[in-house]
Chain A
Amino acid sequence: MKAFFKSFRYALKIAPSMLLGVIIQNLASTSLVFVTLLYGGNLLDLLVNHASVEVVQHEVIVLVSLVAGLTLIQLLADIVVKTNDNTVPFKVDQTIARKSMEISYDQLESQKVKNLVQSAEEGSNGFGGFSDFIINTVSALLKSVLTVMYAIILFGRVMVRIESTNTDPLFVFLNNPYSFLIIVALLVMMAFLSFFLLKYMNKLMYAMYKTNIKANREGQYLGEIMEDYRYAKDFRIYNYKDMLMRLIDSRNEEVRIGFTGFAKGAAKIAVIEVLAVGLLLFVSYLYIGAKAYFGIITVGSIVTVVGAISSFATSINEFVSNISNVMMQTKYLGNYFEFLELPVDKVETDEKLSGDQFEIEFKDVYFKYPNTEDYALKGVSFKLTPLKKLAIVGRNGAGKSTIIKLIARFYHPDKGEILVNGKNIETYEFADYQKILAILFQDFNLFAFTIKQNVSSSYEGDEEKVKECLDRVGYDYHNSKKLVHGLDTYLFNDVEDGIEMSGGEQQKVAIARALYKNSSIILLDEPTSALDPKSELVVYQTIEKLVHGRTSLFISHRMSSTMFCDKIIVLDKGKIVQEGNHQSLMQDTNNIYASMFNEQAKYYK
């Protein structure tokens, strides 16, 4: 119940106009049904009782105007509701996106949070999402209440008796106002039946959902892969088609079996409902018809009352269904709220990092990734001294990129500490701490926004500063024919029609982005891996200029890129095995550094 109110309040917040629209829609549509019945019936009575032309005409005009007016109101409300139906899921997505970017990196990566995100998505959009929640809630409350109200008024017309001398037992029975209770009893039974059928239906649906969830997810995965351009080349050259089609077909078949079972169950339920309503309708016509036959009620009432009984029965069904949906939706929405309310590691502090230069120190750091057995770093200690260039080299898997992620505070050390200017990096607010670091990740990402936006990391960037950074990194934007809109050209095609950049061009832009940030510390992980030799040389030659006035850390497995550093650390299987500068390291011919160097050098002899 509490959960329901929470969902309702939230729905109000993100879609207030929808609530209004649905209320009006329901008021109008319910009134429409009853106006038609009421006035239609009245009209019939007037005719039977030979009323005058003027009275009849008046009734006609009222009927027709009300119908047209209410329909019009309903249509206008429709526009509002339909629009919201489209926009509400969009808004909900935004909330999930914001939260995703807010949580910490290790939360983002964790399987637990990933599952939570998936349930949040299903929760907010599954079963119709927020918009359906609003529609169902209002319908359930308003429509049903109104219907009952109207119906009761109309029933008053039926529960009458007339003065008569007829002793026919059938007549006496029909003349008793309480004989109407037969119908009422039927209605009550129908309500219960509705309820049970719905429960059964939900059970069926849930069972199908559970059995199909894996097949659906896998089928979706395979489908996305088959549409993904990055796989397109391999799929053709290596003739993946037959295997892929078989994989998809098997998932489809699984889903089909589940669905068919469900469909048969759902169909049976629908038929039972039809039979129930049919029975009710039949008894109603019989009862009301007989009453009218004996003159206890007017002919016109038949249409009115049978219609009312019918509407009443329908709205019982709808009410039960609405309530059930609302309950389901509240449950689903619970998943959504669980994600939104995920606690974010916020550091409560007023302390800010101050100064121009920062020293990062690793003190006997041990770290292993979540759900792994082995330590990725074992007792690593080193200092990143201000204004100096430090290189970390080692084979793939040695732990180099892990160090960067720890400096970036994406993970926390299991043992030991990481300090900035002597204080633990966790003392400061995350956003504040990020200001002092600019990182070029090995698997960096540029986004489908403009070049200017990518380099400046903001929606409105400083064009002159962007140009300066691109110049420093050697990206020739002046002469590039591809840049149709200059620096306002979009990258990739996901947001606007943009250009494709080669790996090397992207790397340059990414370095420019790091430069633009103007942080005191710059960390570069394999910064030239995609560059051709000439471009690579340009970067090395201008390294001094690039990192001037900053503290820098270079990671690479290629020796050529670290020789210019003041100090080189060699990492092997999570431990520091060598330290020194290039010359001193080369002298130790038995160790990793020299062997890696020679392995590369031999091609150039």
Chain B
Amino acid sequence: MKDLKAIVASIKYVYNEAKNYSKSYIGKVVVYCILSIVAPLLLLLLPTICVYYISTQGDFITFVLVLNGVFAGYITCLSISTYLEQMITWDNTFVRLKRFFRKIYEKCVECDYKFYEASNAKEERLKAEEALYSNWRGVELIMKTTPKFFIDGISLLIFVASSTVVSYQVLLILLGMIIVFLIIEKYAVPAFIKAKANLTTHYNKERYIYKSSKNELKGKDIRNYRLANLLDTAMNKQFTLYAKYARIQSVVLVLPNLSNTIFGFFRDLVAYTLLTTAVINGSISVTEYTLMIGIINSISASLVKIGKDITDLHSASLETQDFMIFMNEQSEFNHGKGLDIKTLTRPLSIEFKNVVYQYKDLDKPTINGLSFKMNPGEKIALVGENGAGKTTIIKLLSGFYKPTSGEILINGHKIDEFNIIDYYSLLSVINQDVEILGVSIKNTVAVTDLAVDEVKLNQAIKDAGLEAKVASLKKGTDTYLTKNLDEEGVLLSGGETQKLMLARALYKDGDILMLDEPTSALDPIAEGEIYQKYNDLTKGKTSIFISHRLSSTRFCDRIFYLRDGHIVEEGSHEELMAKHGEYYEVFTIQAHYYQNNGGNGYESVF
């Protein structure tokens, strides 16, 4: 029963989308169904008409005319329904590609960040996509099968209604066939889905290995460390498992048909025996015999088709349900009305109050009762060893994670009091790992493909130190980055890329600035240039720097030294150096390379 409700819900969901895509879609499907029911009925009549006229030696001209009429009807119905079928098939592919994939992409970009990190959240997303993988699965399968189900169902009803002459024995066998089929199907479909899911899992793993093998970034390590063997062996392991599930899936698919074949044997035996006997002892005519054999065959064929339709709808709806679950995932954050950010006094103040955050798969909180205050316009450096919690703090402040407990306050207001999109607009972030999107420089800096403020754009580019580079490009700011969307796209060097990120942050002019190891790939001179600019960038903003290069902390008003999710030392550079604590230790390590023009070597510092 639950399955039935799910199937109906899935069908409604899918057709709703189809209707949104094209208003005439439903109409086309209805006409197609009607014609597809009528055409085979007409075709069925043909042998019967022949046998009737011949065995009764009816008028030849009438015979030809009747034949003509039936054929004309048949061909007309079939032609129109064929045309519609083709158009509907392409429409189906479109709805899947245009509307459904689009929904997933949109959801990916706007859903909570945690869907990318927690391993089971990623599973949910991958499962949702399975409903869209091909035109024989999920949503498109529903679109293909629902009309078929109605056609086969109504055809069956018509046959059954006109087959009162069919003996009860045959009907009993048919009934048995349906019942056994439904029972098998109840277990076969979930088994099939599971096998399919396993197939997809191993396929995805194979895809990773496959893509790695031809990836040019990984190609260097593959060649120097002779990793071809390792990758090949790993791929073989996946193949073994994949082949196993492929076999299981094939068997499960064929099982219901097996049952049908066995029942079919008995059904045909009984039907033919009864009918031939009836003809021999004169109860029915040869014409009636022909008709009834035709009807029985049609009923059986319909049942088999309906059986397959039910199986397909069942499995497609399971996949569609996964899709719906993912699409219905609620955000943890406030997507509704929030405080008007325009009313906030700038620069902003930031406060963490007893913030606790625990990652789902870890057994201990990473941040456990962290409290600190950042004054308006202050520059804070966040330092500490790897794993101390620096990145977690950034993600919490970015509005990617919600604290397990405690509060994060902006000018005294909780992040939740703002609409999350409004909140994001307060932030300018520059990260260590830069992923370049293949759009133009202008699109990247202004983050839009629509009209931009050219003055502001050029200013941002100038301030980031990219003026010369942009001037050297033929298309200027309209030059595309990478060749993914434009053959004439360019690749920027590491330093130029960082400057581009800076330009974007400048253009956005966010009030909270977060810089996470932005210069680690730059040489000292380029780094120095950028640091100058960061200094300008932070004027009037409240900012956080993360860097291992403690050289960056000199720009900051205060430094937080983090260990195990706690701030263990806090103060200005001079204050912390005077303390002779952990910061002092780490700073001295870095400094000693440069003392005495580097004459100290690597002796122990302490």
Residue B334 at the A interface, CB < 8 A?
no
Of the listed stretches B164-172, B373-381, B518-526, name the one at the interface; the rest are far from the partner chain. Answer: B518-526
Of the listed stretches B238-246, B403-411, B462-470, name the one at the interface; the rest are far from the partner chain. Answer: B238-246
Q: Which residue of B lies closest to A500 (CB)?
A: B117
**What would be 22 A-B contacts, judged by CB atoms less than 8 Å apart?**
A43-B276, A47-B279, A47-B280, A71-B264, A82-B254, A101-B222, A218-B485, A229-B117, A236-B398, A236-B400, A238-B504, A239-B421, A242-B448, A289-B50, A302-B51, A408-B224, A438-B224, A444-B220, A531-B548, A537-B602, A596-B525, A597-B524
Selected from B425, B443, B495, the residue in CB contact (under 8 A) with A243 is B443
- In the bound complex, residues from chain B placing their C-beta under 8 Å from that of A263 are 86-87, 89-90
- In the bound complex, residues from chain A placing their C-beta under 8 Å from that of B548 are 530-533, 536
Cβ < 8 Å to B, chain A residues 82-106: 82-83, 86-87, 90-91, 93-94, 96-98, 100-102, 105
On whether the beta carbons of A86 and B246 are closer than 8 Å, the reply is yes
Residue B346 at the A interface, CB < 8 A?
no
Known: A64-B269, A270-B86. Contact between A533 and B257, CB under 8 A? no
Q: Measured between C-beta atoms, what is the minimum distance from A334 to chain B in Å? A: 20
On whether the beta carbons of A495 and B205 are closer than 8 Å, the reply is yes
Selected from A245, A248, A289, A293, the residue in CB contact (under 8 A) with B57 is A293
Q: Measured between C-beta atoms, what is the minimum distance from B571 to chain A in Å? A: 18
On whether the beta carbons of B119 and A497 are closer than 8 Å, the reply is yes
Q: Which residue of B lies closest to A234 (CB)?
A: B435
Residue A448 at the B interface, CB < 8 A?
yes
Of the listed stretches B67-75, B317-325, B536-544, name the one at the interface; the rest are far from the partner chain. Answer: B67-75
- In the bound complex, residues from chain A placing their C-beta under 8 Å from that of B385 are 532, 534-535
- In the bound assembly, the distance between CA atoms of A268 and B431 in angstroms comes to 55
Chain A contact-residue range equals 35 or more
- In the bound assembly, the distance between CA atoms of A83 and B164 in angstroms comes to 43
Residue B330 at the A interface, CB < 8 A?
no
Residue B101 at the A interface, CB < 8 A?
yes
Q: Which residue of B lies closest to A60 (CB)?
A: B272
- In the bound assembly, the distance between CA atoms of A47 and B287 in angstroms comes to 11
Residue B159 at the A interface, CB < 8 A?
no
Cβ < 8 Å to A, chain B residues 469-512: 484-485, 493-495, 504, 508
- In the bound complex, residues from chain B placing their C-beta under 8 Å from that of A109 are 216, 219
Known: A60-B272, A87-B242, A242-B448. Contact between A302 and B50, CB under 8 A? yes
Residue B568 at the A interface, CB < 8 A?
no
On whether the beta carbons of A78 and B254 are closer than 8 Å, the reply is yes
Cβ < 8 Å to B, chain A residues 576-604: 582-583, 586, 595-597, 599-601, 603-604
Listed from nearest, the 10 A-B pairs whose CB atoms lie closest are A603-B551, A267-B86, A560-B593, A601-B594, A229-B116, A557-B523, A263-B90, A604-B591, A100-B214, A97-B213
Known contacts A396-B521, A459-B233, then 4 further A-B pairs from the complex at CB < 8 Å, ordered by chain A residue? A72-B261, A457-B226, A532-B384, A535-B386
Digit string of B399-423 for contact with A (CB within 8 Å is 1, else 0)? 1100000000000000000000100
Q: Which residue of B lies closest to A262 (CB)?
A: B90
Residue B277 at the A interface, CB < 8 A?
yes
Q: Measured between C-beta atoms, what is the minimum distance from A428 to chain B in Å? A: 14
Residue A505 at the B interface, CB < 8 A?
yes
- In the bound assembly, the distance between CA atoms of A63 and B60 in angstroms comes to 33
On whether the beta carbons of A449 and B230 are closer than 8 Å, the reply is yes
On whether the beta carbons of A278 and B221 are closer than 8 Å, the reply is no
Q: Which residue of B lies closest to A560 (CB)?
A: B593
Residue A232 at the B interface, CB < 8 A?
yes
Classify the secondary structure of A's interface with B. helix
Cβ < 8 Å to B, chain A residues 468-503: 481-482, 493-497, 502-503
On whether the beta carbons of A249 and B102 are closer than 8 Å, the reply is yes
Of the listed stretches B7-15, B77-85, B148-156, name the one at the interface; the rest are far from the partner chain. Answer: B77-85
Q: Measured between C-beta atoms, what is the minimum distance from A280 to chain B in Å? A: 11
Q: Measured between C-beta atoms, what is the minimum distance from A602 to chain B in Å? A: 8
On whether the beta carbons of A259 and B90 are closer than 8 Å, the reply is yes
- In the bound assembly, the distance between CA atoms of A532 and B261 in angstroms comes to 70
Residue A150 at the B interface, CB < 8 A?
no
Residue A211 at the B interface, CB < 8 A?
no
- In the bound complex, residues from chain B placing their C-beta under 8 Å from that of A302 are 47, 50-51, 54
Size of the chain B interface, CB-CB below 8 angstroms: 168
Q: Measured between C-beta atoms, what is the minimum distance from A305 to chain B in Å? A: 11
Q: Which residue of A lies closest to B551 (CB)?
A: A603
On whether the beta carbons of A101 and B230 are closer than 8 Å, the reply is no
Residue A223 at the B interface, CB < 8 A?
yes
- In the bound assembly, the distance between CA atoms of A264 and B91 in angstroms comes to 11
Residue B122 at the A interface, CB < 8 A?
yes
- In the bound complex, residues from chain A placing their C-beta under 8 Å from that of B433 are 230
- In the bound complex, residues from chain B placing their C-beta under 8 Å from that of A503 are 386, 432
Known: A233-B113, A237-B398. Contact between A292 and B108, CB under 8 A? no
Residue A424 at the B interface, CB < 8 A?
no
Known: A495-B209, A495-B234. Contact between A267 and B217, CB under 8 A? no
On whether the beta carbons of A239 and B424 are closer than 8 Å, the reply is yes
- In the bound complex, residues from chain A placing their C-beta under 8 Å from that of B439 are 243, 247
On whether the beta carbons of A447 and B227 are closer than 8 Å, the reply is yes
Residue B459 at the A interface, CB < 8 A?
no
On whether the beta carbons of B78 and A278 are closer than 8 Å, the reply is yes
- In the bound complex, residues from chain A placing their C-beta under 8 Å from that of B94 are 256, 259
Digit string of A271-282 for contact with B (CB within 8 Å is 1, else 0)? 100110010011
- In the bound complex, residues from chain B placing their C-beta under 8 Å from that of A3 are none
Q: Which residue of A lies closest to B482 (CB)?
A: A221
Residue B210 at the A interface, CB < 8 A?
yes
- In the bound complex, residues from chain A placing their C-beta under 8 Å from that of B243 are 83, 86-87, 90
Q: Which residue of A lies closest to B388 (CB)?
A: A532
Known: A63-B272, A582-B598. Contact between A289 and B206, CB under 8 A? no
Residue A541 at the B interface, CB < 8 A?
yes
On whether the beta carbons of B83 and A270 are closer than 8 Å, the reply is yes
Residue B105 at the A interface, CB < 8 A?
yes
Known: A44-B290, A97-B213, A559-B594. Contact between A221 and B438, CB under 8 A? yes
- In the bound assembly, the distance between CA atoms of A306 and B49 in angstroms comes to 14
Q: Which residue of A lies closest to B267 (CB)?
A: A64
Cβ < 8 Å to A, chain B residues 523-553: 523-528, 548-552
On whether the beta carbons of B218 and A285 are closer than 8 Å, the reply is no
- In the bound complex, residues from chain B placing their C-beta under 8 Å from that of A5 are none
- In the bound complex, residues from chain B placing their C-beta under 8 Å from that of A68 are 261-262, 264-265, 268
Residue B186 at the A interface, CB < 8 A?
no
Residue B327 at the A interface, CB < 8 A?
no
